[in-house]
């Protein structure tokens, strides 16, 4: 049996298989069309990614219990105000378990951009492995950039990339 162990190991590791459970078929990839979705806002209205067709969109996957996510909120607010009147939208997608945790945070931080509640599939579809994760989608609906984590200098990077992607 010892003789066959290396061959068995090689066979098991070289065989193809299903993608990991956290990677849905058709999951988001850089340069590909952003997967569509429909999520509910805190007021229970349904919003689809396709509602923002023709706009540059920054998806923000976050949670109230995540310190880097909370640190990114003021930067996102400034970006939202700087880009007012342009073909740009921030869609903040909370992965918190309940809207009851999200509402007080948004009120305290005076968040003005659209906040949606994640469903059971959105994180796997967008390959969110850590939060915060930011997905920048161009006006044609293709994924232009994916950022994991947050650092203050990202605000300048976002603005530069968004201005580059805005339709003329």
Which three-class secondary structure state does DSSP give residue 57? strand
Domain residue limits, the chain:
54-168
Which residues partner with 114 through β-bridges?
A: 91
Nearest Cα residue to 90 out of 110, 123, 112: 112
Q: Give pLDDT, residue 146.
A: 95
Q: Give pLDDT, residue 27.
A: 61
Superfamily (CATH) of domain 54-168: Glutaredoxin (3.40.30.10)
How confident is the prediction for the chain on average, in pLDDT? 87
Q: Tell whether the model's pLDDT for residue 6 goes beyond 80.
A: no
Nearest Cα residue to 127 out of 71, 74, 82, 61: 61
Residue pLDDT, tens place only, 27-78: 678 889 999 999 999 999 999 999 999 999 999 999 999 999 999 999 999 9
Q: Bigger pLDDT: 19 or 99?
A: 99
């Amino acid at each position: 049996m010892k003789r066959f162990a290396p061959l068995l190991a090689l066979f098991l590791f070289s065989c193809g298989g299903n993608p990991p459970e956290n990677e849905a078929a058709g999951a988001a990839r850089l340069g590909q069309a952003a997967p569509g979705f429909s999520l509910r806002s805190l007021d229970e209205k349904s919003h689809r990614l396709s509602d923002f067709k023709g706009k540059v969109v920054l998806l923000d996957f976050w949670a109230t219990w995540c310190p880097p996510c909370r640190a990114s909120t003021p930067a996102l607010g400034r970006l939202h105000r700087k880009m007012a009147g342009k073909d740009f939208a921030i869609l903040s997608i909370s992965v918190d378990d309940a809207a009851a945790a999200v509402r007080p945070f948004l009120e305290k931080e005076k968040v003005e951009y659209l906040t949606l509640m994640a469903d059971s599939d959105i994180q796997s579809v967008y390959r969110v492995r850590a939060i915060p994760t930011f997905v920048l989608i161009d006006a044609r609906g293709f994924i232009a950039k994916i950022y994991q984590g947050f650092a203050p200098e990202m605000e300048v990077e976002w603005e530069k990339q968004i201005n580059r992607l805005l339709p003329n």
